[in-house]
Amino acid sequence: MLRTSVFIIAVAVAAVLLGATPSGASQARRGAQAEPRANRAAGPLSPAEVVGMLDAYAVVQAQDALALTDAQYGPFVTRLRKLQETRRRNQQARNKVIQELRKLAGPQAGPEVDESAIRERLKTLREIDDRAALELRHAADALDEVMDVRQQARFRMFEETIERRKLDLLMRARQGARRGGS
């Protein structure tokens, strides 16, 4: 049953990644795996949708790539999702502060510089980075608890492969958007 569900999800994610517009049935199967597209017009995927789908794809592919047992898979998925969410949340917080720094200190900032505001934003950025490192360490440690040492090594290699795939697909999505918008 678990493998059948995993296969259905993998097919749905692969179809979306390859550019097919998901049907209502496949979207229902995906559930909360990726951001819903029902409220927007069909068309190219946004970078956020691609990242969400690749996160779902990683979950689906992990069982085979890491040789996880059925008993390991449930706890692994829960902890992997927590790790993914921790990364995403911290990256979003960091991006927000970087945008604020651009407004305060970037080339478009103007002649007057509010050094105290810049210092405060830099301090906030440092705090976010420190907190993110700690949260990511805890999430990674929790995930490692589910796996043996060989699976942990495979997971590091697997993550690197998934990250390369994300970058490749994001670049393709952006190129497609540029071509479509030109």
Residue 81 banded pLDDT, cuts 50, 70, 90: very high
Domain check: are 118 and 62 in the same one? no
Mean pLDDT of 81-110: 93
Q: 117 — phi, psi (to 5°)?
A: -65, -40
Mean pLDDT of 1-8: 43
pLDDT of residue 84: 92
Count of CB atoms situated within 10 Å of the CB of 130 = 10
Domain check: are 122 and 174 in the same one? no
Yes or no: say if 152 and 144 are a contact pair by the CB < 8 Å rule: yes
Give the least confident one: 39-53, 102-116, 154-168: 39-53
pLDDT of residue 42: 63
Domain check: are 126 and 63 in the same one? no
Q: Which domain holds residue 19?
A: 1-68+165-182
Query: Could you give the percent of the chain with pLDDT greater than 70?
Result: 75
Residue 155 lies in a domain: no
Q: What is the count of structural domains for the chain?
A: 2
pTM here is: 0.69
Q: Which residue has the tokens 């490192």?
A: 133
Residue 173 banded pLDDT, cuts 50, 70, 90: confident
Residue 154 lies in a domain: no
Domain check: are 142 and 79 in the same one? yes
